[in-house]
Amino acid sequence: MIGRSTTSTTRGRRRSVVASNVDREIYSAQFLALYEHMPKVLAVNVVNAALVAVVLASYMEQTRWWIFFGLVVTLTAARAIGWIHYRHHRQAVEDKTKWALFATAGSGLSGLLWGVSSTLLLPDNIVQQTFLAFVIGGMCAGALVSLSYYLPAFVAYVLASALPLAGSFLLDGRTVYGHGMHGSGVRGRRNFRCMSF
């Protein structure tokens, strides 16, 4: 009886060690994929900010969108410096937690910059609002591809970028948003169902 309990305890420890090693390997792969996609994420962030600034600043003749663009470029430069530092020292990096937190914080701050700016600088024109909503929605869809390898970075970006704008639409009280978004959601569900079969 004692031999059996010792054997089962030993097997349990081995399974625990194997599971722990597998978890570490999965985390490492997620982490590497996140940093592998970082240059594309940063480039798209700047390009989309430039697009929004050009379209809305020239159309509305407001310089505040250029300030937004400058803030995006500054944050992106800080994230790029961190990425370069990681790339040069990645062989020496044992503790990936610090770098994972850096990527998550960068994604969250980027999303927050987009979300808060879109809310504070939200134009009155529904066409411009729709344009802004589609840009942010498109970036959230792009984040699904580029950031979903590491769920905390993905969630930080999507929540911080989409919730402020969605909240401002909700508080606006116009029924246009509800009907338009509902119709878009129904079409999206139908398209998704078609793709899954």
Q: Of 10-24, 49-63, 152-166, which gets the smallest average pLDDT?
A: 10-24
Top pLDDT among 138 and 147 is at 138
Model confidence at 92, pLDDT cuts 50, 70, 90, reads low
Give CA separation, 96 vs 29, 32, 41, 122, 182, in Å.
11, 10, 20, 38, 41
Is the C-alpha dihedral spanning 119, 121, 124, 125 positive or negative? Answer: negative
Residue 52 in this model has a pLDDT that exceeds 50: yes
